[in-house]
Chains A and B, each alone.
Chain A
Amino acid sequence: MLDLQVIVAALGSVLQVSSLALIFVGVLGGIIVGIIPGLSTTMAVALMIPFTFSMAPERAMSLLVAVYVGGVSGGLITAILVRMPGTPAAIASLLDGYPMAQKGLAGKAIGNAIVASLFGTLISGCFLIVFAPILASFAIRFHFAEYVALGIFALTAVISISGNSVLRGLVTCILGLLVATIGLSPEDGLPRFTFGQNALVGGLGLIPALMGIFAVSQMMHEAAKGLKGHTQTPARLDRVLPTLSDITGNLFNYLRSGLIGTFIGVVPAMGGGPAGLIAYSQARNASRKPELFGTGHVPGVIAAETANNATIGGALIIALTLGIPGDPVTAILLGGLMIHGLQPGPQLFAANPAIVYSIYFTVFFGSLCMAAIMLTAVRVLARVVDIPKHLLIPGLLLLACTGTFSINNQLFDVYVMFGFGVLGYIFDRFRYPLPPFILGIILGPIIEGNFRKLWAAEQHPFDLFTRPIPLVLLLLSALFVCFSLYRRYRKPASEFVY
């Protein structure tokens, strides 16, 4: 039952000037951290915890949730402008965002991405309020078979994010899956493919891979072009606000991607990266012009950003209703609640509904604040594209090195980043698509770990075909593959390569 008195009280609390100022500061801080490559939203939220000790619980949660909203959104700026995703959640945004920036449509790309982030957060916020208990019961049905099937479904995105060369995309994806096997095997507690090197026990890391594959390889290209006297392609900022036709023409895209993001967000340990890639893949599949995806197409940017922001509401659903942290950020948020003597889970709704509603309202006001800040500041931030290459490349390289180092305080991670940079450059030269490699690194541990647990528990993998959720996901994967192949083979052979 909705208690109107409590809702009004929570709204009044959030609308106080001091609370709004806290939300503003939190969102701004989150955006800044999101923009800086290597710095994670988790780090930003964790850094804010000590400041909340003396605050009332409602305000403390408002600040932390605001940082979360800002952090998830900030990564899009560098992803679109310089192909350096500030956060893993922004991987899918660069697929069409960066080509748009290269064409001189950076403003349009960023504007649409910001509005999509806003809509994504609002859509998932609505789900958070209305369907939280239903979605939470859906999430707790996720066992090993469901995770494996969801991982396989996410892998089908390779078809969409490989451009015209699906076979090469599959090869890079398998390489990514293999890279993810390096390090300590979580199921066995034993090192694998570490060759006796202690530095490899922790694995090669997603952020160094992300920085290397996308950012360092791009800097290598740019440096070569710059020193050879090639003219640079300025990613000039045109208009920032999207046109009405951009919005109205993508209403279904917003809704579909928002739903995908919310559902993926509800599932623990999936996160914004896979959500963006799956939504991107589905948007391409539903499009009448799928060939435009990857070349700088607004619906691609919209799908990616809507979905990755929609994971916020999804992650909060399971965290608040069941007390299960779906990712490190929500784990810290739950820690923030417990510091104030509050127990997350069903009893939170009964004992402290005002806190729950404060969080709901913060998601809404935080997302509005995020859109306002980013749309206002984007012109200043985007001046980065006007910086001459001989200044920009060392600056970005320095930022990438320091950001990557800061993850584990290890110089080894920076070497790994450079190693992946060389690999990304070689892939690019041979026209092997890069995003499937990252998809493989993200999904590898999810698929392998859960498949082995499934087999260990049941002594067979038949749960994949006998349980309803995995069966539906596998059927959807098969349908998607068949449909994509059908569309692909309808095209003239000259339009694609293997």
Chain B
Amino acid sequence: MLIAALVIFWQSLFLPPPVWDPLGMAFWPRVLASAMVVMGLVLVLRRRIDGEDPEPFEGIAFLVVAVGCFYVLAMKWFGFLLVTPIFVFASVVLLGWPPSKRRATEAAFMAVVGTAFLYTLFQKWLLVSLPEAW
């Protein structure tokens, strides 16, 4: 937090000087960054906070985000209709590990129905242009 606040303060030094008002666009971020430094120091100084360990991080949780980001990246190249069923199928199988015939059937059903539902809802009814194959 302290480092982030200091970086923001430093970055604010490169913002253009005030033009139409006396405060300028750097004023507010500097106020906030300063407040954050104070808060951060108070938090560090409070012994209570040090005595309380954070809950452990779970790597699997970050896997969800990694898979999600990979899905978005793939969607840019291969389009919503092609990537979404694969993403849903793979996610359902992974989260329902160990795989079984029933899980695979569930995954396949959800992949097809989910993709068709969302495509119809967004692309056809709400006229949202979902990413298409590159």
Asked if residues B25 and A175 are in contact (CB atoms below 8 Å), the reply is: no
Binds B, one of A294-302, A322-330, A407-415: A407-415
Binds B, one of A266-274, A356-364, A451-459: A451-459
- Size of interface on A: residues with Cβ below 8 Å to B: 65
From A47, A167, A177, B32 is in contact (CB under 8 Å) with A177
Asked if residues B65 and A418 are in contact (CB atoms below 8 Å), the reply is: yes
- Size of interface on B: residues with Cβ below 8 Å to A: 67
B65-106 CB contact bits vs A (8 Å, 1 = yes)? 100110110011000100010011001100111000001001
* Smallest Cβ-Cβ distance to B69: which chain A residue: A418
Least CB distance, B125 to chain A, in whole angstroms:
9
Asked if residues A455 and B21 are in contact (CB atoms below 8 Å), the reply is: yes
Asked if residues A167 and B58 are in contact (CB atoms below 8 Å), the reply is: no
User: For B133, what are the chain A residues with a Cβ–Cβ distance below 8 Å?
Assistant: none
Binds B, one of A14-22, A99-107, A115-123, A392-400: A392-400
Assuming the contacts A402-B122, A411-B131, asked whether A175 and B36 have C-beta atoms less than 8 A apart, the reply is yes
Assuming the contacts A193-B8, A389-B95, asked whether A171 and B28 have C-beta atoms less than 8 A apart, the reply is no
B42-73 CB contact bits vs A (8 Å, 1 = yes)? 11001011001011111011111100110110
Asked if residues B126 and A406 are in contact (CB atoms below 8 Å), the reply is: yes
Asked if residues A181 and B29 are in contact (CB atoms below 8 Å), the reply is: yes
Asked if residues A456 and B49 are in contact (CB atoms below 8 Å), the reply is: no
* Smallest Cβ-Cβ distance to A176: which chain B residue: B32
Least CB distance, B23 to chain A, in whole angstroms:
5
Asked if residues A455 and B22 are in contact (CB atoms below 8 Å), the reply is: yes
Asked if residues B25 and A216 are in contact (CB atoms below 8 Å), the reply is: no
Binds B, one of A88-96, A223-231, A471-479: A223-231
* Smallest Cβ-Cβ distance to A496: which chain B residue: B48
From A170, A389, A391, A430, B54 is in contact (CB under 8 Å) with A430
Assuming the contacts A167-B43, A456-B21, asked whether A395 and B71 have C-beta atoms less than 8 A apart, the reply is no
Assuming the contacts A193-B29, A456-B21, A498-B49, asked whether A223 and B95 have C-beta atoms less than 8 A apart, the reply is yes
Least CB distance, A310 to chain B, in whole angstroms:
28
Q: Is A185 an interface residue (CB 8 A)?
A: yes
B92-130 CB contact bits vs A (8 Å, 1 = yes)? 100111000001001000100010001001100011111
User: For A276, what are the chain B residues with a Cβ–Cβ distance below 8 Å?
Assistant: none
Q: Is A220 an interface residue (CB 8 A)?
A: yes
A residues 147-170 in Cβ contact with B at 8 Å: 167-168, 170
Q: In the complex the two chains form, what is the Cα distance from A418 to B75 in whole Å?
A: 15
Asked if residues A497 and B92 are in contact (CB atoms below 8 Å), the reply is: no
Q: Is B19 an interface residue (CB 8 A)?
A: yes
Q: Is A386 an interface residue (CB 8 A)?
A: no
Asked if residues B91 and A394 are in contact (CB atoms below 8 Å), the reply is: yes
B residues 11-31 in Cβ contact with A at 8 Å: 11, 15-16, 19-25, 27-29
Asked if residues B22 and A181 are in contact (CB atoms below 8 Å), the reply is: no
Least CB distance, A224 to chain B, in whole angstroms:
4
A interface list, Cβ under 8 A from B: 36, 39, 43, 47, 167-168, 170-171, 174-175, 177-178, 181, 185, 187-188, 190, 192-193, 216, 219-221, 223-224, 226-228, 388-391, 393-395, 397-399, 401-402, 405-406, 409, 411, 414-415, 418, 421-422, 425-426, 428-431, 444, 448, 451-453, 455-456, 459, 497-498
A-B contact sample (11 more), CB < 8 A, given A221-B61, A391-B96: A171-B36, A188-B24, A391-B110, A393-B91, A395-B110, A422-B62, A430-B55, A455-B21, A459-B22, A497-B49, A498-B46
Q: List 6 A-B contacts (CB under 8 A).
A: A398-B87, A399-B118, A426-B57, A429-B56, A452-B21, A456-B20
